[in-house]
């Protein structure tokens, strides 16, 4: 560029370029550090959980923790079997699945296959408001509306019970299922639907026998992600499900979930450093591992099947 100008300006231009390159590199590094912070966060989570949970597992054997059937870390005689908490969590998740998976899948199919453009544009954002409602609000709704209603229908219902917590958690994750199923169904090419109609299939047959099998991976991934969200849900189950760690399959009884237990300890005045304090890290580690496996699974399913049509 500077072949015809004097050597002085050429040198200047080189110097400017060198400066620019240096600035460019510095900016690139700064931006990389921002992106790398996510890895640092994960490392931080794992480090914290492993450090504190390993202190716990020096005192309590992991086998006792994972197979014990009595959870009483705060009262004598102490006992550290986590199964009642896992059972309570699973009870809530199963109930939430019963509510959200059929409703979410059905409304996802409706939005992508049946709804007019206009009603879709109204219904989808309205359903997404459900996802934006804070979880503490769902907890409030559960204890002031769902539980009283349930008690009127089934008088043996306890004031705090798994069923109403499960119901509101189901409603909370419904938009997630619906939205992801809708996306998955819409990713199925129109030509497949047209082929179905050309063979004389009805709308239902096209939806369930052409679109749904094509969208299956997305639908399954949405189920796994939604259930992972339900496992980690905290405030609604803390408010509505009670604080009674119990091995039961009766959804009308009071139970305690893993997340609700963690909140209970952090609300109380358990001194930092003691064994009962370390339990929250052990339970938190279990929670993290379960949701991590589910998220990895869902991501893998999604990635493997995403590009089938391209």
In the bound complex, what is the minimum distance in angstroms from residue 253's beta carbon to another protein? 19
Identify whether the C-beta of residue 177 lies closer than 8 Å to the C-beta of residue 101.
yes
Nearer CB in complex with another protein: 96/171: 171
Nearer CB in complex with another protein: 70/235: 235
3-state secondary structure (DSSP) of residue 71: strand
Q: How far is Cα 27 from Cα 36, in angstroms, rounded to an integer?
A: 14
Q: How far is Cα 187 from Cα 106, in angstroms, rounded to an integer?
A: 17
In the bound complex, what is the minimum distance in angstroms from residue 175's beta carbon to another protein? 7
Nearer CB in complex with another protein: 2/41: 41
In the bound complex, what is the minimum distance in angstroms from residue 210's beta carbon to another protein? 13
Q: How far is Cα 289 from Cα 242, in angstroms, rounded to an integer?
A: 24
In the bound complex, what is the minimum distance in angstroms from residue 46's beta carbon to another protein? 10
Residues 6+ away with beta carbon under 8 Å from 134? 235
Nearer CB in complex with another protein: 87/225: 225
Nearer CB in complex with another protein: 252/292: 292
What is the distance between the terminal CA atoms of the chain, rounded to a whole angstrom?
45
DSSP 195-232: HHHHTT--HHHHIIIIIHHHHHHHHHHHHHHHHHHHHH
Nearer CB in complex with another protein: 43/249: 43
In the bound complex, what is the minimum distance in angstroms from residue 79's beta carbon to another protein? 22
Identify whether the C-beta of residue 82 lies closer than 8 Å to the C-beta of residue 71.
yes
Identify whether the C-beta of residue 188 lies closer than 8 Å to the C-beta of residue 215.
yes
Task: Quickly list H helices, 60-146.
Answer: 62-67, 83-109, 117-132, 135-141
In the bound complex, what is the minimum distance in angstroms from residue 48's beta carbon to another protein? 4
Nearer CB in complex with another protein: 165/294: 294
In the bound complex, what is the minimum distance in angstroms from residue 42's beta carbon to another protein? 5
In the bound complex, what is the minimum distance in angstroms from residue 184's beta carbon to another protein? 15
Nearer CB in complex with another protein: 67/268: 268
Distances from the Cα of 70 to the Cα of 66, 80, 215, 216, 287, angstroms: 11, 7, 43, 40, 18
Cis peptide before 77 (omega within 30 of 0): yes
């Amino acid at each position: 560029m500077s072949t015809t100008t004097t050597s002085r300006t050429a040198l200047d231009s080189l110097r400017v370029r060198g400066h620019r390159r240096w600035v460019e590199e510095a900016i690139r590094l700064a931006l990389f550090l921002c992106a790398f912070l996510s890895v640092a966060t994960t490392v931080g989570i794992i480090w914290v959980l492993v450090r504190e949970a390993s202190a716990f597992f020096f005192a309590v054997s992991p086998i006792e923790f994972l197979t014990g059937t009595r959870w009483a870390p705060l009262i004598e005689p102490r006992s550290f079997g986590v199964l009642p908490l896992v059972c309570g969590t699973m009870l809530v998740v199963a109930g939430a699945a019963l509510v959200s998976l059929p409703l979410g899948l059905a409304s996802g199919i409706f939005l992508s296959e049946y709804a007019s453009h206009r009603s879709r544009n109204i219904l989808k954002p309205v359903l997404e408001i459900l996802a934006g409602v804070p979880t503490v609000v769902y907890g409030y709704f559960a204890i002031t509306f769902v539980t009283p209603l349930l008690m009127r229908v089934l008088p043996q219902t306890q004031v705090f019970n798994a069923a109403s917590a499960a119901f509101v958690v189901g409603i909370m994750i419904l938009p997630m299922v619906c939205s992801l199923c809708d996306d998955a169904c819409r990713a199925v090419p129109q030509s497949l639907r047209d082929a179905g109609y050309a063979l004389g299939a009805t709308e239902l047959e096209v939806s369930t026998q052409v679109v749904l099998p094509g969208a299956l991976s997305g639908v399954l991934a949405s189920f796994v992600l939604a259930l992972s969200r339900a496992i980690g849900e905290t405030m609604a189950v803390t408010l509505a499900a009670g604080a009674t760690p119990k091995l039961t399959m009766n959804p009308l009884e009071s139970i305690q979930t893993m997340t609700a237990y963690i909140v209970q300890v952090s609300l109380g005045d358990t001194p930092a450093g003691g064994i009962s304090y370390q339990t929250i890290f052990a339970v938190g580690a279990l929670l993290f591992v379960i949701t991590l496996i589910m998220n990895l699974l869902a991501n893998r399913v999604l990635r493997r099947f995403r590009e089938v049509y391209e």
